[in-house]
Structure 1
């Protein structure tokens, strides 16, 4: 029994003295799976995220592929540039190109990207309008920007606020007609561009009383 204990103790000492240290190499990889969208008419830059491997890294575009016209890539892998959409189009997508990163050990990682250009989001700017009751009204109630002009305007839903009685919002963004009631109104107005993107807002319309001018005196003349 004594000899068995000695053997067991020796085995424990041998095992504890034979631990090995393991290392895990980090794999080179490109974490950015797609590029953000560019806005038509503007310029921007984006640097895909790269991790692992053995820095420093070098970057290139894969053989047989190329960046779209108007774009370039810097030595640190930053992709930059810009483009403009053709009239009437809401989006363009480039031919795919291969983004390649190589680390100092010669390991490479690749990914296929496309450049997407979209129209800027349409914006609406409601106005404060003042007209007079029982008189013709023809005032700009909203203007628009960005998107894909030309624009078409219209009233929003009744719940969002209808134009004053006797008036409408025409396609040019004007409040027209002859209002029949005084008061202050919150009016919902929407704009749509040529590719059907839309935006709505609220305008304030005031319909004022008619000015009453009284002239005191004696009339001399014929009726």
Structure 2
């Protein structure tokens, strides 16, 4: 992947720090400290292994962004646990090793952007602190290697820092990316006009290092493809053909990493969105897919080539999205000479978390909510190229409130009591919702429980009592806990 403008953010100097203590984290993260009262810097990553980004996919957040990992940095006092005070320039983070294999982004809407509205990569970032912590993102390029990321804070004139290693492009033999290409001329004609109405789609299944995956066992399919229903009618009667089916989905088996199937057009112009996926878990889609590796491609369906002026179809409102949920939609053009190439109009941008592919697929996982508008440009493939522009809108709903954790009784043991001595204990529950209400069966004689879960009284009879406690509040949970009375 080529970045035309790599910028370096000026901030805290990170090299040659006298007295800085460094702990390398080759796994989930690292931390450092400089004494009892010094700041302890902790750096972790959501993923410490990324595939090689041979397709040049832009960075993003969520399940549809396999080449990007979220990094978390925090700093606290070693002796008190107090977080570092908030501010604008608290953490300085940069890639100090394997500079060609990874770059950094904020992906919070504050990154500088290129003319197409894509965030510009950085080798260094200066981050503010909120509650003693901050987050940023590391993105893999098309070069394998190990990226060492270092974050530092200023501790009264002394820098405290730590590092973590992110491996890019390890050779695993497991599916990590699916590259899908349409055979020339990359479009098909509608049925009934005497032109080509089918096209071969070829998918390469590659591992983290960009190497082809091993052939699955004989008779086992490791690729699943489907036509994704979208706004418009071009996909209503289009079909996929292959060894596994003859309808809106097909399975296929890769040989030397490559699997093929055919798309057949319907009677309506537009674009057909095809999703292909494999299973990273076992390179087998016949038994279900537990770790999805996917890609999408848009294939134009036309009635004529070069006979009409290039025009954008269906501009305006796109299907609604939800914050934090995977999203895909296609934009469509007609006329001119396909295939078409889409881009953002300079000065406009997609909602954070969404990306635009050159074949007109808007995809990703939005990380913000609200109404958004942006302008897209399309050009055709004629010798004298035509272009067209249009404004689109998308409404992204706020992420739903998370489901409450299941109600359960956290108390697993209770103190012993003595006959004739006052007894008191408090029960603890977690999860659920609302106010907890407690009850109990088989309490020792002389003891009682309140609705708030407080056991009080004076036991009158020795023994071991298996008490069945029940709590309600957004559900019901029960647990048996012994109370021993001596």
Please state which structure has a larger fraction of its residues in strand: 2
Task: Return the index of the structure with the highest Cα Rg.
Answer: 1
> Does TM, scored on the shorter chain, surpass 0.5?
no
**Higher-RCO chain (CA-CA 8 Å, sequence separation at least 6):** 1
Which TM-score band (shorter chain)? 0.3 to 0.5
TM-score by length of 2: 0.19
Please state which structure has a larger fraction of its residues in helix: 1
